[in-house]
Structure 1
């Protein structure tokens, strides 16, 4: 990620001490600054992934006749939002109108802004908010949630303890650039994979192109689907 590379060049270039020699105070300040700021960049990236999913699903459901079965949990999330944005009475209920309403959009955006962290629990809360089954993320190859939690723990230690107090055990002896880079790089790789997994849920598969003697034929995707206009009927009234 460009932002991370720029921050690394700006902040870590001035750190010359290598293990096991102790870092100078100014070097510890630079490595901690990089750790905290890199965490902020990745946290925003994760939040945007789920906001993009929310927007993409709403657009997809409004424009297709059939939607992937993986989107069924999205409608279950509607009833989570109901606690803050009241659903109309059953007789007047229109799920698509509710989902696309500005009030729902404002609510989901405000809930994402309330997120403060990058750990697995933070990701779980965001996934639940926008209606993604947790196993889709937790079981996905390349999505190493422990990497996000590790960076979150280290960032918390760096951001809430003084350089000079000596109380911080989570960073003791580990504030060298080589360690911080590893935490950030592992978390960044997971964020990239997370985006790929989440994006695939709201992407309408392209038609398969099949060669034949009479030319190129297009076959519809075999991905399991359900009629989008009827998904709401499965949601609890």
Structure 2
């Protein structure tokens, strides 16, 4: 079991485009692929909470992992894989609440961080050759995409600063909207305009409340500069393919 280096510079993020069940399948497939490139796993667990409903699973996890502190456990990949698979295969709230975080490392370098409740799934593909390729292959038939981390495009329009950083489209001073809430993108090259359609919940009353208190959802993005429009439009075009807009 290797010593852990706290530095982590994500190169990619996993974006799930399906429902909760699809998200569990895609995330588990991606974790399994990442573990093939790792030697050590750390998990943060609400042990007592999980033990109330699943005492046998908690016993299995205790046998497989060594305790680091009250909530953190660490183990070699080969030793923990079976019990970890049992934990990740759960579909109850324990899958998202009792498991609060999972890290995977190789030679002391963290290559994966997964936080189920957010959800956040980030990897550093520089730690292990072809890690990103392996994860993309694992989710090929799933409702998910592995996208570059960091800012893919940023621009100013109507006095506002926009930043497209998976998994979000953010407006300075307004907040961020998830890219998975976009349902379609229309690129108008002649007008230098990008039009976005956003998901509307089945409950219109709740949807209206969310729209009032939540961050603004931009629907028309207009550009004075042809060069800037072209750069941003190409990013949206690529994301349309990845996220099935």
TM-score (normalised: structure 2): 0.29
Larger relative contact order (C-alpha < 8 A, sep ≥ 6)?
1
Structure whose CA Rg is larger: 1
TM-score (normalised: structure 1): 0.29
Higher percent of residues as strand: 2
